[in-house]
């Protein structure tokens, strides 16, 4: 394994003092060699993120409106950073080049990526590091999916040799060379890609919190820190709303087994959370996460279990309307499809009509206003009474349980409750499992 990859989030790079703290962290360990910066974040609650300003610049130009204000703020922000850090970063030249291209692309990806690009240039100059433009070696295919084989080969070759390397996060390029970004928060994914390409011994993800908590601290103020969690467990929690790490950041490092360490830039000595391939299952539940915004499509038909192809026909209706589903609890005569509201959008009535046409059910209904909660832990299958304790906790909290679903891996129990009951349910489940071993 080869050195440590460090990704730094936008709040860790918001101003010159933050950047000096980041450089001190990098210098504190000579193994920290592969640096993945985000675009500068907010310096205070009333500030603007650089990425948001770049997107506003793109939008105004596309509409034929005056974009001088966001462009000026960006220019001033980077000029101030360069001046305070004492580097000869030529922001004027770079912004002039960006201005020439801002109206070229219909999609905003190029502009959205320039915050990371500029921060990467500035940071590499400040560190005396080698700058690598991801557009040259992080490659997407024609369908917009990451081309992992090509990317790891190209990037791996560029990361050879001594010294520090800076690879901006969040973007790469399509086969035609046009810049493409990951989804927001995608610098986490970039960090994993760099760690995989460099075959790092560790991927440190530096952010503004000291690791993951067993539950959202905005809901459970005293939630315990998770010391150790597996890739699979974190994937479940991240997808269901735990937002410290992008849920797709697991995939590049999972194969070679590179651990991820969630660290706090403001408190670098705190232990954070370590994400690993496997762990000892001393606790049945490692974390609880939930989110709102789901609808349940409920289909009933007598003797459904005898009718071959019924489930396939139901799912074909969703496919026809471009709708993905999250979970599918079933009974002998019922199928329930849980769909995120963003997926269902305005397709609800059409989906119901399609199911009625294709499947001739006795009844099909939509039940909106559902929140899903994941109770996650690979230790569940070694402890008797997990589901019982969970249901008792909800009952004691006077929360009505709408849906319960446990996968075959026995790592995750998904429940559905009314949206208004989400926080009460999370607190009840947390209190039931926080000290249970």
Looking up tokens 């199911």 gives: 355
Domain ranges of the chain: 4-276, 287-433
Cα separation, 262 vs 274, whole angstroms: 6
Q: What is the mean pLDDT of residues 168-192?
A: 90
**Which letter, b or e, does each residue of 30-59 get, where b requires 16 or more Cβ atoms within 10 Å of its Cβ?**
eebbbbbbbbbbeeeeeebbbbebbbbbbe
Helix (H, G, I), strand (E, B) or coil at 119: helix
Given a cut of 90, whether residue 39 has pLDDT beyond it is yes
In this prediction, residue 280 has a pLDDT band, given cuts at 50, 70 and 90, of confident
Measured in residues, the chain has a length of: 437
Residue 407 is encoded by which pair of tokens?
């996968």
In this prediction, residue 13 has a pLDDT band, given cuts at 50, 70 and 90, of very high
- Residue 76 CB partners (closer than 8 Å, separation 6+): none
Residues 122-152 pLDDT 10s: 999 999 999 999 999 999 998 889 999 999 9
Given a cut of 80, whether residue 379 has pLDDT beyond it is no
The pLDDT of residue 219 is 92
The pLDDT of residue 141 is 92
The pLDDT of residue 144 is 87
In this prediction, residue 156 has a pLDDT band, given cuts at 50, 70 and 90, of very high
Q: What is the DSSP letter of 224?
A: P
Cα separation, 154 vs 222, whole angstroms: 45
Please state, for a pLDDT cut of 90, what percent of the chain lies above it.
54
CA-wise closest residue to 394 among 338, 368, 432, 436: 432
For 10, 41, 102, 121, 256, the CA distances from 90, given in Å and listed in that order, are: 21, 21, 19, 10, 39
Q: Which residue has the higher pLDDT, 427 or 280?
A: 427
Residues 82-96 pLDDT 10s: 999 999 878 888 888
Q: Which CATH class is domain 4-276?
A: alpha beta
Q: Are 102 and 65 in contact (CB under 8 A)?
A: no
The pLDDT of residue 409 is 59
Given a cut of 90, whether residue 183 has pLDDT beyond it is no
To the question of pTM greater than 0.75 for the whole model, the response is yes
Strand stretches in 41-164, DSSP E:
130-131
Residues 160-170 pLDDT 10s: 999 999 999 99
Q: What is the mean pLDDT of residues 327-354?
A: 87
Kindly calculate the radius of gyration of the chain based on its CA atoms and give it in whole angstroms. 24
Given a cut of 90, whether residue 174 has pLDDT beyond it is yes
Residues 18-28 pLDDT 10s: 999 999 999 99
Given a cut of 70, whether residue 216 has pLDDT beyond it is yes
Helix (H, G, I), strand (E, B) or coil at 101: helix
Q: What is the mean pLDDT of residues 364-393?
A: 86
The pLDDT of residue 111 is 93
**Which letter, b or e, does each residue of 71-88 get, where b requires 16 or more Cβ atoms within 10 Å of its Cβ?**
bebbbebbeebbeebebe
Q: Are 37 and 168 in contact (CB under 8 A)?
A: yes
Given a cut of 70, whether residue 282 has pLDDT beyond it is no
Cα separation, 300 vs 126, whole angstroms: 64
Cα separation, 315 vs 355, whole angstroms: 9
Helix (H, G, I), strand (E, B) or coil at 260: strand
Cα separation, 170 vs 172, whole angstroms: 7
Given a cut of 80, whether residue 291 has pLDDT beyond it is yes
The pLDDT of residue 247 is 72
- Residue 177 CB partners (closer than 8 Å, separation 6+): 135
Q: What is the mean pLDDT of residues 245-274?
A: 90
Given a cut of 90, whether residue 199 has pLDDT beyond it is yes
The pLDDT of residue 407 is 63
Q: Same fold for the domain at 4-276 and the one at 287-433?
A: no
The yes/no answer on whether domain 287-433 falls in CATH 1.10.540.10 is: no
Given a cut of 80, whether residue 245 has pLDDT beyond it is no
Cα separation, 33 vs 163, whole angstroms: 7
Average pLDDT for the chain: 90
Q: What is the mean pLDDT of residues 245-255?
A: 84
Q: Helices 187-198 and 148-158 meet at what angle, rounded to 10?
A: 70
The pLDDT of residue 408 is 57
């Amino acid at each position: 394994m080869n050195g440590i990859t460090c990704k730094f989030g936008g709040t860790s790079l918001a101003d010159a003092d933050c950047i000096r703290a980041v450089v001190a962290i990098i210098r504190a360990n000579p193994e920290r060699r592969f640096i993945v910066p985000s675009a500068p974040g907010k310096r205070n609650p009333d500030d603007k993120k650089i990425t948001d300003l770049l997107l506003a610049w793109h939008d105004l130009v596309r509409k034929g409106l005056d974009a001088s204000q966001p462009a000026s703020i960006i220019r001033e922000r980077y000029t101030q950073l360069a001046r305070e850090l004492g580097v000869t970063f030529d922001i004027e030249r770079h912004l002039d080049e960006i201005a020439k291209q801002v109206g070229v692309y219909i999609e905003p990806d190029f502009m959205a990526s320039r915050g990371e690009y500029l921060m990467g240039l500035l940071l590499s100059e400040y560190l005396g590091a080698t700058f690598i433009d991801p557009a040259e070696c992080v490659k997407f295919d024609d369908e917009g999916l990451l081309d992992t084989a090509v990317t790891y080969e190209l990037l791996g070759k560029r990361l050879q040799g001594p010294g520090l390397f800076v690879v901006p996060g969040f973007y790469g390029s399509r086969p035609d060379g046009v810049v493409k970004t990951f989804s927001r928060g995608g610098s986490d994914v970039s960090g994993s890609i760099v760690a995989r390409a460099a075959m790092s011994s560790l991927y440190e993800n530096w952010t503004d919190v000291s690791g993951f908590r067993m539950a959202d601290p905005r809901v459970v103020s005293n939630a315990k820190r998770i010391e150790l969690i597996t890739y699979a467990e974190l994937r479940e929690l991240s997808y269901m709303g735990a937002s410290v790490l992008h849920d797709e950041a697991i995939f590049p490092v999972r194969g070679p087994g590179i651990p991820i360490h969630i660290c706090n830039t403001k408190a670098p000595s705190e232990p954070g959370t370590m994400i690993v391939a496997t762990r000892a299952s001393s606790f049945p539940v490692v974390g609880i996460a939930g989110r709102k915004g789901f609808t349940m499509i409920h289909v009933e038909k007598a003797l459904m279990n005898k009718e071959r192809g019924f489930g396939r026909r139901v799912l074909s209706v969703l496919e026809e309307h471009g709708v993905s589903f999250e979970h599918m609890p079933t009974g002998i005569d019922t199928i329930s499809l849980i769909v995120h509201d963003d997926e269902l959008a305005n397709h609800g009535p059409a989906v119901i009509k399609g199911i009625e046409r294709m499947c001739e059910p006795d009844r099909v209904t939509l039940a909106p206003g559902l929140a899903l909660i994941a109770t996650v832990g690979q230790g569940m299958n070694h402890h008797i009474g997990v589901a019982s304790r969970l249901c008792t906790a909800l009952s004691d909290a006077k929360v009505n349980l709408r849906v319960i679903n446990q996968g075959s891996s026995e790592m995750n129990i998904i429940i559905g409750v009314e949206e208004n009951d989400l926080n009460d349910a999370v607190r009840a489940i947390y209190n039931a499992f926080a000290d249970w071993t």
